[in-house]
């Protein structure tokens, strides 16, 4: 059992230390992501270490220390993303009455020929800025009624 826990501890230490490197290789960068899984496995290995191995050996103490270091390191990475951490963004308290810039982006898709729907949407929403995307000459002609309200093209 000592051999299995030793190998598992060494692997956990390796995948915990690997992301500290700035090397861009995928087989190093991949260990940036499964931090929760590494933490869980290190915690399980630590529990097995404490429960099953004889504490008379300095090797067992070393394994426990390495597992504990892995748990602490991974937990420090995960902590800011948990409910235990202080939120970095304030809760939404409602809209204030200040004027806002309203932008309407319409991806009309060139083969689409339903200009009346876009004109109705613009009339209903009254945006400050209108951006029509994927238009052609036909769309330019259909949107000429908007030139009075939106002179800049």
pTM reported for the whole predicted model: 0.59
Q: What per-residue confidence (pLDDT) applies to 90? A: 82
- For residue 11, what are its two tokens? 């692997």
Residue 110: predicted pLDDT: 83
The total of other beta-carbon atoms located within 10 Å of residue 55's CB is 10
57-101 pLDDT, tens digit each:
899 999 999 999 999 999 999 999 999 999 888 888 877 777 889
On the question of pLDDT at 153 being above 80, the answer is: no
Region of 109 please: left (phi>0), alpha (psi -120 to 50) or beta: left
Spatial separation of the C-alpha atoms in residues 58 and 138, rounded to whole Å? 82
Q: Using 50, 70 and 90 to split pLDDT, how confident is the model at 14?
A: very high
108-126 pLDDT, tens digit per residue, is 988 889 999 999 999 999 9
């Amino acid at each position: 059992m000592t051999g299995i826990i030793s190998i598992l501890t060494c692997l956990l230490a390796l995948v915990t230390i690997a992301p500290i490197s700035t090397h861009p290789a995928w087989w190093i960068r991949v260990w940036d992501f499964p931090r929760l899984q590494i933490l869980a496995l290190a915690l399980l290995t630590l529990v097995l270490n404490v429960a099953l191995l004889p504490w008379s050996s300095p090797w067992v103490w070393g394994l426990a220390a390495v597992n504990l270091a892995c748990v602490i390191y991974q937990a420090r990475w995960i902590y800011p993303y948990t409910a235990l951490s202080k939120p970095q963004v304030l809760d939404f308290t409602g809209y204030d009455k200040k004027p806002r810039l309203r932008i309407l982006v319409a991806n009309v898709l060139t083969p689409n020929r339903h200009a009346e729907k876009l004109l109705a949407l613009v009339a209903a929403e009254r945006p400050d800025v209108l951006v029509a995307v994927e238009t052609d000459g036909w769309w330019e002609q259909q949107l000429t009624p908007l030139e009075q309200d939106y002179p800049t093209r």
